[in-house]
Each structure stands twice: as structure tokens, then as C-alpha cells.
Chain A
């Protein structure tokens, strides 16, 4: 699927300053060497198992299934990973690679703070210096994660330029990397950025889908009919989709953030409303105006608040292999509450977008159909945001 020079069809590529080209070439070389190295894979599996607690359960959500009255819903419990989200899968892989490459300093960008926390965690465990760039707006709405990163010994740099969210944090991390490429490893948190990142992050996240395949075959003796995941940059979705790519009967559905509604312009629905462009080193779809100026995205969920999407998702959408839908803040909040009340699981607001789509489409499915939803993270970090949003509308 991915061809020469990191293209997925027309998407992907390496649109970076010349200063970074040799760093990317070295990274690709190093990654290609270690990804098939049994010793590296063994070490990575050790940390995923003993440190992060994999494999994560595939949980049959009986009460949610009964409530919706359609197909059987399974939740892939990535929220049960160490640090509370799927982000650690990729971070452990990249930091292990950084160690092999002899890098001493780690930088990362973060939106909701989950990737920043995961990176700070792994950096602490491996004894590496770590700095995290985070938009000032996100620093405020995800204060708990900022505190966690500080506890883990990372330096959090609030980013005050532009929209002060994930996009600008990514800009600032790229600028840091341009200045320090020789000793610094940039741990990108999603399937975005210049080649080889989209491919590498997908490969580190595919463990989600690999486990789902094994688990669902053991439980149901067949593959699911639907796999639903939320999409910001798209790493949890790519990770759960990828092992099912050739299983054409499995419908892959990505849920983008529609914010206040696509018609209001206040959203982060990149595939619904974006145009092909170049940002953060990749060609993909972006929310932008006719001059190529990037439009500020909006979502209640900091992790989905990104104006672009990973290039492989752009390719999967245009080739028809995956379908992408939009979910509003309001729908995500309702799903957040519903899952808490019916299953005793508080999902991340990001993951609540995937749940919300399952809530929408499940009643129309047959009872013998199987729906897997990727519960990419837990929602402790979001309880203040949700309580503020529900204030005045407690019954919504």
C-alpha cells in the first residue's frame, strides 16, 4: 500500500526544510533495520507486556448492546494501557528506536496531553531528557496532564503562537527539531508528519488490530462487520484498521470531530471539509482557505482538534476502503455519559466520538452483526471539561 518515498497514493511525502532531510533519511534507515530485528521486537514486546500491561481486553459491552438493540458491540480497551491510552504503544517503539540511534534528548508535541504523558513516562523509564510542546489553550483545558508530565520530569513548553493548540505545538516541535536534529529524537504522536512517521507510527499501533483479530476469532469465531475508531491525526484508527485492510468484508469507519456542527464552521472534520494541501511535512487533506492558510479547527476534544489527518487515512477514504463520518461535541458528550452509566467506563472525549457513531448506527444493524469500537483512552482527564459542558444541561 505504501510505495517508494512514503507515499500512499498521492498522499504523504517529505515536505520539510533541507536541514531535516538527512535526519529523516537516518531515521528511515534505522527504523527499517530494527523493525525486522527479532531482538528489537522482543524488547518492545517485553515493555508492551510487562510495562504497559498488554494485551488489552476486547470487552463485550452487553448492556450497551442491549440498550441499542442491534449488533453485538465489543470495546477494545486501549484505555487500560499504562498512562491511559493507546499512545504508549507508539511511544515505547519510538523511544526504543531513539535509544538504538544514540539520541539523548526526546521532544514531542501533544494536544490532549495523552501523547505528552506517554512520552514523558517512557523517557523517565529509559532515563532520557524530555521536552513536550503543548498549545497554551490545551495547557489550560488539560491541566491534569500538564501536572502529570511535570511529575514525570518532563519540561512542558506552552506554545503561544497561532491557535495555541495541537497544530501550533507541532509547528514548535518541528522548529526545535530543526535546531537540534543531531542529538534529538522527535517522537510524533500520530500517523502524521513526513515519511517515515506515518508508516512507523502505524506499524507501532497495529498491535491494537492484531490483538482484536485474534481475540474476536477466539470469541466469535469470525471477523467483525464493523470497526469504528475516532480520527484526529488518526493513530488509534490506523492501528486497529491496518491488520484488517485485506479483509474486505470488514467495514472500517473513522469518526471525525464535527465540533459545533459542520455547518457552523466550528469543527475539525478534515475529510468532510478539507482540501488537499501540505502541512507538517505531509501531503494530505487540511482545513484551509483558497490561499492555503490553515483554518483553525475546533473540537471539545483536544486530541481531535487538528486541521489535518494522516496521509494513509486520506488514501483509504479516496480509495473507498474506509468510510469517514462526523460526530458533534453534543453527540460525543451524550455517548460519554451513556458509556459511563451503562458500562461503568468513562471514555476519553476522543473515544466518545467513536462510541457516539456506534450509538447512531448500531440500531440499524442486525443482532448477529459484530461491531468493534476502539476505546482509545480513558476519560479521567476530561471530567472537568465535561462537567463544564454539561452545566445547565444535565439531562442532555
Chain B
């Protein structure tokens, strides 16, 4: 069974919700990516997104864009990231997803990318610049290799929801608000209506992401959904402690406080 599906099944049985965390591969360097992923899993991250750094991350805000630039400045290659994932897999069975822009998949070679994902132990893909209409080929490959192609729904999706959640697998990524990734103080979306509308057409787990940065926000929103996604807030901690000895510990502590918000 795909690790993402297994995880959500286990959580449902114990009436728990998932904490999904994010790290950009190679920020501050590739070795610490492994340590950070393992530490986050240890401190309660139920699923982990690994961002493949990209030169033009238009769906991301400044925090994740800077992380990508830090990673790319060391000439990190996708092949190297695949190797690190393989290493992580030896030590942990935490479900792992790539957050990856479509051009990276395309240049790596489409099917070669998906099959390498399978080989190294990636369980799902989030491709923020590939809407439903352009994703048919990749979804078919996901089926073939048992990699979950995560469906994203935005507050603007409205009449599109029914069409694009058909056949969605793994979980549905519900974008909290208009705009790019990054922390926000307030949300203008009516989450009750938003998630309920999606729930009319799909019964797979729903995760809320974009802008979530504090245990208080998690407490406020977790009842609407099955999982909460925290990205930029973690990257900010990495940015702050990037060069210091205590990096892994600080990130672990932060994930621990987020996990408390989930309780």
C-alpha cells in the first residue's frame, strides 16, 4: 500500500489528523536535508514534502524562493536529491512527497522522473504549476508507478471542483487563500464552506496549506480538515539557524510545537 494512503488510514483509525511539513532539498546543504527530514519525522511530522529547488518558483513566496536560491547556489542536481531520498528511506518509512515544478520533471524525462521517484521511495508529487487539464499524462504515470499525484484546489476553483477532484488520490491540497506560499496573519476564506464543497465530490483526506505558521492557527483550522501543511514557517527557522550547530534541533523543536497544536 502506498505510504500516504497507509498513513491516513492509520490516523483515521486513531482519530488523529496529519501534520505535513516542508523542507527545500539542499537548504542549507544536502546533508542537512536528510537530518532535517528524519528529525521532523521524529518530532511528529506525519508526512513530509521535499521541495526540489527551482530557479523560477512562481507559486512560492519570497521565503521559499530564497531557500531555492541557497540550494541552487551549491549546484545541487535532481540526481543528488534522489540519492539523499534513498538514504532517508533506509532510516524512515515516513511518507515523502516532492514539491516540484513541472519543467524539472519534463527535463529529467517525465517517466524517468516518476520511475526514479518510485525507486528511491517517494510516495507522491505536488506540481504547483500543472493544472488538471495539463496533467493527464503525469497522472497516468502516477497510476502506473503507484505515485500519488496530489490535486490542488484553490478558493477560486468553485465550479471546477467537481471535475478536478474526480479520481483524486492520496489527499487533496486545499489552498487556504489566494496568492503564493508564505505566512499569513489572517485568512479570508470561509473554510467550512470551502472544505464542505470539496467533500461533496471526494471523500479522500483534505489538507489545508499556504500561510499556516503557528500552533494557534493549526488549532483554529484543524477541525475543518484531515491535515495541516506548514512550509514557509519551517523554512524561516532553517534560514535563521542555517549555519549554526543547533539547526536540526531548532527545527525539531518548532515541529514539536506545531504537533502540539494538532492535539
Residue positions of A touching B, CB distance < 8 A: 5, 13-23, 161-162, 167-168, 171, 174-175, 178-182, 275-281, 286, 288-294
Contact = CB atoms under 8 A, between A and B. Distances in A.
Interface residues of B, number: 41
Given A14-B133, A171-B56, A181-B156, 18 more contacts: A15-B129, A15-B134, A17-B58, A17-B152, A17-B154, A18-B160, A19-B156, A19-B175, A21-B131, A21-B132, A22-B157, A167-B56, A179-B180, A182-B178, A292-B103, A292-B105, A293-B72, A294-B103
A396 to B, nearest CB: 34
A306 to B, nearest CB: 12
B216 interface: no
B130 to A, nearest CB: 6
A294 B55 contact: yes
A290 to B, nearest CB: 6
B107 A17 contact: no
Interface string B142-174: 000000000011111111100010000000000
Contacts, number: 116
Interface in B217-234: none
A294 B105 CA distance: 14
A179 B164 contact: no
15 contacts: A5-B133, A15-B131, A17-B129, A18-B131, A20-B156, A21-B156, A162-B56, A178-B58, A181-B178, A278-B102, A278-B129, A279-B56, A281-B129, A290-B107, A291-B108
A19 B154 CA distance: 5
Given A178-B59, A277-B106, A22 B158 contact: yes
Nearest to B180: A175
Classify the interface of chain A: helix, strand, loop or mixed: mixed
Given A17-B131, A279-B56, A292 B179 contact: no
A16 B131 contact: yes
Q: Which 4 A-B pairs have the closest CB atoms?
A: A179-B179, A292-B107, A19-B154, A292-B103
Contacts of A19: 154-157, 175, 178-179
Nearest to B78: A291
Interface string B96-133: 00000111111110000000000000000000111111
A286 B178 CA distance: 28
Given A18-B152, A19-B156, A19-B175, A292 B108 contact: yes
B103 A288 contact: yes
A21 B157 contact: yes
B103 A175 contact: no
From B55, B153, B155, B178, residue with most partner A Cβ within 10 Å: B55
B179 A175 contact: yes
A178 B182 CA distance: 13
A279 B69 CA distance: 17
Given A21-B160, A22-B160, A15 B59 contact: no
B61 to A, nearest CB: 7
Contacts of B59: 17, 178
